[in-house]
Amino acid sequence: MQVLEAYRPFEIQEIDLATWRQRPVKNNFFELVLIKTGSGTQCINYNDYPYEAGSLFLLPPLQCHSFQIDQPTRFVFLKFTSDFFRADAGPTVNQSEWFREAAYILSNYNQLPGDIIHSDLDRQHCRTLIELILAEQRNYGPGSIPLIKSLMTSILEILLRNIKRGAFYEVKVGADQDERLTRLLSYINEHIGEPQLLRVERLAKTFLLSPTYLSEFFRKKVQMSLREYIIKARLKLVEIRLLHSNYTLTEIADELSFTDVSHLSKTFKKYVGLSIRDFKKRGEYCLLKRSTC
């Protein structure tokens, strides 16, 4: 087994495995996994998906994921830690902007198995960037960290593009699902901090539907009201910020359009079932985390 030494604010590992071993998720924002060689099956929350050389997966910070290895496999793990997005992590990238982008990826990726990249060109871009990161890691020296961070932000951009192209939402896309729902969910999640754009009248006008029909259509497809979905989508982003950023409650409330800290705290307690203090002490997602195996 080859393990490349890890450096904060990211961790990089290249590992040869014949049998899967559960890996720690401490301080893990999320991980990108490249399958360099080998084959088998990925499992997340009882859902299976075959993998082969070239597969790219996104692992959320859950214990419930594993790989059933059929042929010895070389994995490359790129772990984006909390420190990667902190404001004091360095000037290489705009941490605040990239934290919002990464939080979008994490809150909208549905934590189901399967290859996250759907474009052959994007897949090749990712593999090239990962090889550059590994080469820089092996020849580590002055300036390596800023360069690796820059390469990893390029990977984030590709992930973001593929997340927005796909239907990575809580509602599974079935054969009978209306395409309008995917577009509606994408619009809501991209504008979650702009409440004026998410009023039912504004959404109805944007999607050329009546307000009454849109509300009924949404409740039927998503099994919750439009208002509840929007609140929970905002609170998922609150959870990410509470666990993985140094934002103050005032900054979180302002960014995600809560009236003030009191409004944020009361809404959080109502839907999450914990106070913000107890949630941070517990240190685990509630709304964002799906059921575990």
Kindly report the number of other CB atoms within 10 A of residue 130's CB atom: 21
CA pair distance 276, 280, nearest whole angstrom: 6
Q: What is the average pLDDT value for the chain, to the nearest integer?
A: 81
Nearest C-alpha neighbor of 274 from the set 262, 263, 286? 286
β-bridge mates for residue 77, sequence order? 13, 33
pLDDT at residue 12 in the model: 87
Domains and CATH numbers, the chain: 10-165 (2.60.120.280), 179-282 (1.10.10.60)
pLDDT bucket at 263, cuts 50 / 70 / 90:
very high
CA pair distance 254, 261, nearest whole angstrom: 9
- What is the share, in percent, of the chain residues with pLDDT greater than 70? 75
pLDDT bucket at 116, cuts 50 / 70 / 90:
confident
β-bridge mates for residue 35, sequence order? 75
CA pair distance 268, 235, nearest whole angstrom: 7
Lowest mean pLDDT among 87-96, 143-152, 241-250, 256-265: 87-96
- Overall average pLDDT of the 13-28 stretch: 77
CA pair distance 32, 105, nearest whole angstrom: 12
What is the number of residues in the chain? 293
pLDDT at residue 13 in the model: 87
**Between 180 and 64, the higher pLDDT residue:** 180
The residue type at 173 = V
Strands annotated E in the chain: 10-17, 28-44, 47-51, 56-59, 65-81
Q: What does the pLDDT look like over 211-225, one tens digit per residue?
A: 999 999 999 988 899
DSSP-derived 3-state class of residue 79: strand
pLDDT bucket at 166, cuts 50 / 70 / 90:
low
